[in-house]
Structure 1
Amino acid sequence: MTQKIALVTGASRGLGAAMAEELAISGWHVVAVARTTGGLEDVDDRAKAASAPGGLTLAPMDITNDDAMRHLCRSIFDRWGGIDLWVHTAIHAAPMAPAGHIDVKDWDKSVSINLRATGSLIPMVEPLLRARPGGTALFVDDPRAGESFFGAYGATKSGQITLARSWAAETVKTGPRIVIAAPAPMATAIRARFFPGEDRKALATPKSEAKRILAAL
């Protein structure tokens, strides 16, 4: 049987890291993408410590760099001929602020990572998913649109999910399959910034949510 191949963008921390680790433990080979080399190496170390049979290929790069991502997708095609799963968890969580006080640099970064990069990646990744039967793209919803002080994050994250829903509607008959998951509140660094002082013991772990979401796929 041909080994399953997964591409995880945003794989150095939080749910993305947990997804990459869980997939490798389940026998998938994971191409793990993130800007933080150290974070990727930590994921790889944990997978090796767990004797993960799948293994990881670490790709430390910025998903907003179109040339780098295009080269990566071409390299994936040349080596494996396609992918079975794309997990897109890369996100910029801008500091909470009133809409009238959003920092322009944070706004631009939110648009670049959360929205523009997603729109650029879909045309690059879609052929890789079409090359494998049952190819699936997984997006992670976090509905904050319209909530107080979530302007930059909420607007760009909801835009990302809206784009994913359009892609899903367009590919119902032709594939690839597009899945939008809604994780339970998790004890992540992003959530800690949004909700400081929250009782983290009541939150799910990224690892438990990764297992649940992947099982549902």
Structure 2
Amino acid sequence: MTHTALITGASRGLGAAMALALAPSHHIIAVAKTTGALEELDDQIKAKGGAATLAPMDIGNDAAMQTLCRGIYDRWGRVDMWVHCAVHAAPLTPTSMINTKDMAKSIAGNVTATSTLITYIAPLLGTDGRAIFFDDPVVGHAFHGAYGATKAAQIALARSWQAETSKTGPQVHIATPAPMPTATRARFHPGEDRSVLADPAAEAARILSEING
């Protein structure tokens, strides 16, 4: 039986690292908006002897997510693991100056899309699947209002789902990665010393080890 791992936000950073870490044991279903980055990930997965199905789409597109989940069900009947790394990172700005469009995009990408995905993916996970979400300590920090508020709401959804399924499954995990030299962090912290940040591959291995432990 083929084990499957659905990675939303798989094209780079922690999402790509999680995909590569799971590739030896799972067929990777990689979702992201950037086709070129997904193709690079596919090459890396193949180099490790793994296999992937690429799904270049926006998680905020409800019809696309329905089609994706239906396709997963038709081909495999289930998902063993869902790793949700997709996030919309709005530009940093004083809270009193948050752009309405930036906030709307943050709510759509980080809250609405997550809620919708939980609805669609929960039946695919069944009672013995696992879902992984990622908390971020910058919530509440200065200038992170739009990102922080919607990231906190995303994790609140995950915590509620976790509490609801603690006895029945699926298992819902919430991990807190160490700061990594990702593109998102580069936007938030330009000019910082990236050499002291954690390697995404090492963080992926640590998180999976803690979850499996």
Q: Is the shorter-chain TM-score for this pair beyond 0.5, marking a shared fold?
A: yes
Runs of 4 or more, structure 1, over 6 Å off, are none
Cα distance between partner residues in 2 of 1:108 and 1:167: 24
Counterpart residue type for residue 68 of structure 1: A
Counterpart residue type for residue 20 of structure 2: E
Structure 1 residues 79-158: aligned runs within 5 Å: 79-130=75-126, 134-158=128-152
* Contact map agreement 1:144 1:153 (CA 8 A) in 2: no
TM-score, length-scaled by structure 1: 0.94
Deviations 1:16-41 (A, max 9, x none): 011112211x2210100011101101
Counterpart residue type for residue 107 of structure 1: M
TM-score, length-scaled by structure 2: 0.96
* Contact map agreement 1:4 1:27 (CA 8 A) in 2: yes
Name structure 2 gaps, 5 residues minimum.
none
- Give, in angstroms, the shift of residue 3 of structure 1: 1.9
- Give, in angstroms, the shift of residue 173 of structure 1: 1.2
SS in structure 2 at match of 1:193: helix
SS in structure 2 at match of 1:145: coil
1:19 matched to 2:15? The reply is no
Cα distance between partner residues in 2 of 1:30 and 1:201: 29
- Give, in angstroms, the shift of residue 169 of structure 1: 0.4
Name structure 1 gaps, 5 residues minimum.
none
Counterpart residue type for residue 111 of structure 2: L
Counterpart of 2:49 (choices 35, 46, 52) is 52
Cα distance between partner residues in 2 of 1:146 and 1:173: 31
- Give, in angstroms, the shift of residue 128 of structure 1: 0.4
- The aligned residue for residue 63 of structure 1 is 59
**How many pairs align?**
211
Cα distance between partner residues in 2 of 1:154 and 1:57: 32
1:163 matched to 2:157? The reply is yes
- Structure 1 stretch 5-14 or stretch 192-201: which is displaced more? 192-201
* Contact map agreement 1:10 1:33 (CA 8 A) in 2: yes
SS in structure 1 at match of 2:7: strand
Cα distance between partner residues in 1 of 2:34 and 2:101: 20
* Contact map agreement 1:115 1:159 (CA 8 A) in 2: yes
Counterpart residue type for residue 120 of structure 2: M
Superposition CA RMSD, Å:
1.0
Cα distance between partner residues in 2 of 1:206 and 1:178: 21
Cα distance between partner residues in 2 of 1:125 and 1:163: 14
Counterpart residue type for residue 175 of structure 1: G
Report percent identity of matched pairs.
59
SS in structure 1 at match of 2:86: coil
1:31 matched to 2:29? The reply is yes
Counterpart of 1:216 (choices 186, 210, 213) is 210
Deviations 1:129-183 (A, max 9, x none): 00xx620000011032321100000000000001100000001111110000001
Cα distance between partner residues in 2 of 1:44 and 1:109: 28
* Contact map agreement 1:11 1:40 (CA 8 A) in 2: yes
* Contact map agreement 1:34 1:60 (CA 8 A) in 2: yes
